[in-house]
Amino acid sequence: MKNTTIGILCAGDDELAPFLPWIEHCQISERAMLKFYCGQLEGFPVTTLFSGVCRVNAAIAAQILIDTYHCDVMINTGTAGAIQSGLNIFDTVVSTATAYHDVSADILTDFHPWLSSLYIEADPHLLTLARHAAKQVSYPVVFGRTVTGESFIDDKEKHRILQDFAPLSVDMESAGIAHVCYVNKIPFLAVRTLTDQADHSAPELFEKNCQRASAQSADFVRQMLRLWATHGA
């Protein structure tokens, strides 16, 4: 189990920053204009980085983590915007399944990679770890479906997404990373803490809340790894 290499993929530098002081024996390398940090975290070999925002950047990073750094597990961590009412800023969302909210429904079911539905499911074992970790932390953690698109959304777009998908939250990378993991048969999980309500005020609130939300997501991932190290797979 301790030979499992874990890829921790963040979109932005604020989302990556909490992990860096925790990584032991850290070595830095570069591929595709990206900087990869390799070392040990809670006894596991890990490689982490920030990919830059948007699905293509995240997908590039995910494939490099798999091909070059031989990651067996992928965890996407960072921030998101709330879609469902009843969620609060700084709630942590664990995605049980993720989909693109801006891709035609049949593109990925009728063509490669021939998904059985719009949603790419999270890994069951990682979800179990997350559910146990949620009992150990002091902040709210919720589980449910999430969606990904290429930009911040406005109020009209939020209403459409809520009607079509009813997700908990929206982000700009998770489904792209899940897509890469699906075709490579790599277990995947996304953990994101809410910075805003995914509306016209989102960009401003994201800037205000990003560091705290990123630190909370990172703490949750670390708690998952501690449980995995203690109790095994």
- The residues annotated as belonging to the active site are 15, 196
The separation between the first and the last C-alpha atoms of the chain, rounded to the nearest angstrom, is: 7
Integer Cα distance of 193 and 140 in angstroms = 10
Phi, then psi, of 124 in degrees rounded to 5: -60, -40
127-138: b (≥16 Cβ within 10 Å) or e: bebbeebbeeee
Fill in the amino acid letter for 112. H
Residues 6+ away with beta carbon under 8 Å from 217: 15, 77, 78, 79, 92, 191, 192, 193
Q: What is the DSSP letter of 123?
A: P
